[in-house]
Structure 1
Amino acid sequence: MSETTLDVRDVPPSDRHPKIHDAFEELDAGDVLTIVNDHEPKPLFYEFQAEVEAFDADGYAVEERGPGEFVAHFPKQ
């Protein structure tokens, strides 16, 4: 299992989801994509849950590390 971290805080909002989806697709089964974001990525979680078959929703976790810093873990089955 490996972990890839993607900080999207400086990515324009319209480019974030495509960039995250591309990074997730590159993972192997059992890997985790860790997203650093400026807000809780709940809409992204729901998007992945509905559209990405390889997303392990039960393994998803998010924590707020400080103002404007949320870290979310998107595991791949």
Structure 2
Amino acid sequence: MSDTCDDCVIDVRTLPRPQRHVLVFRRFEALAPGEAIEIVNDHDPVGLLYGFGEVYPGAFRWEYLKRGPADWHVRIGREAAPVDEAAATHVHGCACGSRTGSCG
């Protein structure tokens, strides 16, 4: 894994909770296969892990670097995965490839 990316460490503790997952998903989508981001959170981000499992099955790697009690650090790496064109087409048919609907 190359781990080369802009802003590889994202401290989500300073963000309002509704913005945290959106930011992490957007940063992940900008990664090339082999790159990774690290998130810093104030609790175990297991809900985010479940979200990645639903949105990016087989396309990510999840590694705990630090497990609390005050700070949690997780490295999320992008894996090469086969493109599922049906999953990458939004209801409105834009076919931008974003699985989270963050096209625009």
Tell me the TM-score normalised to structure 1 length.
Answer: 0.84
- Stretches (4+) displaced over 6 A: none
Q: What does residue 28 of structure 1 align with?
A: 32
Q: Answer yes or no: is 1:9 the counterpart of 2:13.
A: yes
- Stretches of structure 2 that go unaligned for 5 or more consecutive residues are 80-104
Q: Answer yes or no: is 1:44 the counterpart of 2:48.
A: yes
Tell me the TM-score normalised to structure 2 length.
Answer: 0.64
Q: Point out which structure has higher relative CO (alpha carbons under 8 A, 6+ apart).
A: 1
Greater helix proportion = 1
Shift in alpha-carbon separation, 1:38–1:55, aligned structure 2, 3 A: farther
Letter in 2 for 1:68: A
Greater strand proportion = 1
- Superposed CA RMSD in Å reads 1.6
Alignment partner of 1:61: what SS? strand
Mark the structure with the bigger radius of gyration: 2
| Deviation readout 1:5-40 (Å, 9 max, x if unpaired) | 111000000100001111111111101111000001
Q: What's the % identity of the aligned pairs?
A: 28
